[in-house]
Amino acid sequence: MSDYYNDEDLGRFGEIGKFKPDLFKKFMEWYNASLQPGNLSKKEKILIALGVAHAIQCPYCIDAFTKASLEEGMSLEHITEAVHVASAIRGGASLIHGIQAHNSVDRMSM
């Protein structure tokens, strides 16, 4: 499985558009538009993307948005801070479900 994710596959993303090209075109337009600076700066959007990439653990997104972060002048310090935010939210999301476990225990207990 070590070659399940291949580095060069990111450059083949366009091949998805061989089937249902209209849908792929819409996705690409939406994707590109969402990353354009608006009320949020390009730098902020890239940091969000980097955080999400780690939360969903997408190796392609991690590579792409790590490079994009460096190209926005950010360092490993910035990148690591963003990963901590994503991880903390993800960890917190698991931890808060402890309440569901507690509720469950309450429901079952005398």
Partner 1 sequence: MKFAERLKEERRYPLRAENVEILQVNLGYRCNMSCKHCHVQAGPARREMMDMKTVETVLNVLRRSNIATLDITGGAPELNPHFQYLVTKSKEIGRHIIIRSNLTIFFEDGMEDMPEFYRENEVEVIASLPYYLKDNVDRVRGRGTFHKSMNAIKKLNVLGYGRRDGLTLNLVYNPQGAFLPPEQCSIERDYRKELKEKYGVDFDKLYTFANMPIGRFSEFLRRSGNFEKYMDTLIDAFNPSTLDGIMCRHLISVGWNGKLYDCDFNQVAGIGLSDGNTENIADFDFERLAVREIAADDHCFGCTAGQGST
Residues of this chain that bind partner 1 (CB under 8 A): 43, 67, 70-73, 75-77
**Nearest CB to partner 1, comparing residues 51 and 69:** 69
User: Counting every residue, how long is the chain?
Assistant: 110
Q: Is residue 83 a contact partner of residue 57, using CB atoms and an 8 Å limit?
A: no
**Nearest CB to partner 1, comparing residues 78 and 90:** 78
**Nearest CB to partner 1, comparing residues 48 and 55:** 48
Q: How far is the CB of 26 from partner 1 (least distance, A)?
A: 23
Q: How far is the CB of 66 from partner 1 (least distance, A)?
A: 9
Long-range CB contacts (within 8 A, 24+) of 6-13: 7/63, 9/60, 10/60, 10/63, 10/64, 13/60
> Token pair of 11, please?
């450059």
- Rounded Cα–Cα distance for residues 84 and 91 (Å): 10
**Nearest CB to partner 1, comparing residues 69 and 86:** 69
* H helix or E strand, kind and range, residue 68: helix 59-71
